[in-house]
Amino acid sequence: MTASSALPYQRLHVELDARRYPIHVGPGLLDDPDMLVPYLAGQQVMIVTSETVAPLYLERLKHALSGDGRDVREIVLPDGEHTKTLASVERIWDALLAAGFNRRCTLVALGGGVIGDMAGFAAACYQRGVAFVQVPTTLLSQVDSSVGGKTGVNHPRGKNMLGAFWQPRAVVIDTRTLTTLPARELSAGLAEVIKYGLIQDVDFIAWLEARMSALRALDADALTDAILRSCAIKAEIVAADETEQGQRALLNLGHTFGHAIESHQGYGNWLHGEAVGAGMLMAAALSQRLGWLEPDEVLRVEALIAHAGLPVTAPASMSGDDFLSIMRLDKKNIDARLRLVLLSRLGDACIHDATPSDMLDALLTDFPR
Ligand code: NAD
Ligand code: MG
């Protein structure tokens, strides 16, 4: 990955050989044709967006993409995780076919991770694959879902059960879109930002401790720096392990505990990032029990998560057995051994499948509710 700073915006590249692509980050990029037009495959452009995001940003993006005789259309889908279905993707395909769009069309995702995942999957399949550009508008999608090429939809029997790896041609992150994002969604995105520091970059942890208030106040420079650093860490991990054979699993810090919370509480009641926030603290506390972290380091993790506006306790209605029964179903487990992402020290994660069961039981029982 490479970063440059002598520009009015910041840029880095995800290094995937022939599919190498840039991530541009800065305020106001949504209006800048130079950020977008070079990445279009041809004259046909379909913007995929949602009912919440369209009134806020669609016209501006359309304006930036129009010109030179381009045929720019849009499809506006309803919002919410429950709409992340094959039926919604079929609506995208229907719109593409109705417009007569060919293999040189480009899909542009304008919205959060739900829109990005669906538009990417639609692009991966339409006529066996067409160009795709991401314009993510939530912090979570800017630092996580728009980078790495995982696309897909949910099945009634499981989340993200249908999908494909399909890399975008570019990711264009306009940090000003975060001004309209609800504060709770911003905090949820900060959970993933903190995750990158915890798994890979102890200096970034210290930076976040100093800049958390600025981030929550939407300070433009702080946001650009945090997003860029997060994308750089994810890009590096993805470039080394595109299809998750090994290292990419470290991105799941806090997610095994977090998924248990989300699934027990009913998806949507705890935002994903909120569950990951509490889950990362549980992983840190277990790492302390294993002798890998000092108590004051766990307190640092707790303070940072709390400062981001995220929960640092588990749901009162959830017992240790509730956690265990859900965690045993996790995809990362091999041969019935529970595999957890833990912290070997601050700024370094590992996959561990030998936590003594009485130690895990005690953690799950003792963790504050
Ligand atoms: P989301 O897409 O549902 O967006 C959250 C809410 O914010 C929505 O109601 C949306 O309309 C609204 N919104 C979006 N941008 C806004 C803005 N600028 N101003 C005001 N409101 C705005 O949720 P999300 O957190 O962005 O993404 C979650 C999804 O991402 C999940 O489906 C998850 O599975 C997926 N995901 C994918 C990957 C990946 O690698 N592909 C990684 C992480 C998460
Ligand atoms: Mg996540």
Count the Cβ atoms, other than its own, within 10 Å of residue 4: 11
Annotation marks residue 209 as catalytic: no
CATH match for 190-366 among 1.25.40.20, 1.20.1090.10, 3.40.50.300, 3.90.420.10: 1.20.1090.10
Whose C-alpha lies nearest to ligand 1, atom 33? 113
Over residues 323-346, the pLDDT tens digits come to 999 998 877 777 678 899 999 999
Q: Cβ distance 121 to 166 under 8 Å?
A: yes
In this predicted model, what pLDDT tens digit does every residue of 303-318 receive, in sequence order?
Answer: 999 999 999 999 999 9
Is 142 a pocket residue for ligand 1 (Cβ < 6 Å)? no
Ligand 1 close to Cβ of residue 200 (< 6 A)? no
Delimiting residues of CATH 3.40.50.1970 domain(s) in the chain: 10-178
**CATH 1.20.1090.10 domain position(s) in the chain:** 190-366
Task: Please tell me the number of the ligand nearest to residue 143's CA.
Answer: 1
Where residue 245 falls among pLDDT bands split at 50, 70, 90? confident
Q: How confident is the model at residue 1 (pLDDT cuts 50, 70, 90)?
A: very low
Atom of ligand 1 nearest to the CA of 152: 41
Q: For the domain bounded by 10-178, which CATH number is listed?
A: 3.40.50.1970
User: In which band, very low, low, confident or very high, does the pLDDT at 154 lie, cut at 50, 70 and 90?
Assistant: very high
Helix (H) or strand (E) holding 170: strand 170-174
* Mean pLDDT computed over 184-210: 98
In this prediction, residue 8 carries a pLDDT of: 58
pTM of the predicted model, to two decimals? 0.95
pLDDT over 60 at 177, yes or no: yes
Q: What is the percent of the chain where pLDDT is above 90?
A: 86
Cβ neighbours for 338, distance < 8 A, ≥ 6 positions apart:
327, 328, 330, 353, 355, 360
- The residue whose CA is least distant from atom 6 of ligand 1 is 112
Instruction: Over range 156-182, report the average pLDDT.
Output: 95
Identify which ligand lies nearest to the alpha carbon of 189. Answer: 1
Ligand 1 close to Cβ of residue 81 (< 6 A): yes
Is there a binding annotation on residue 85? no
The reply, when asked if residue 2 is annotated as ligand binding, is no
Angle between helices 220-240 and 183-200 (to 10 degrees): 50
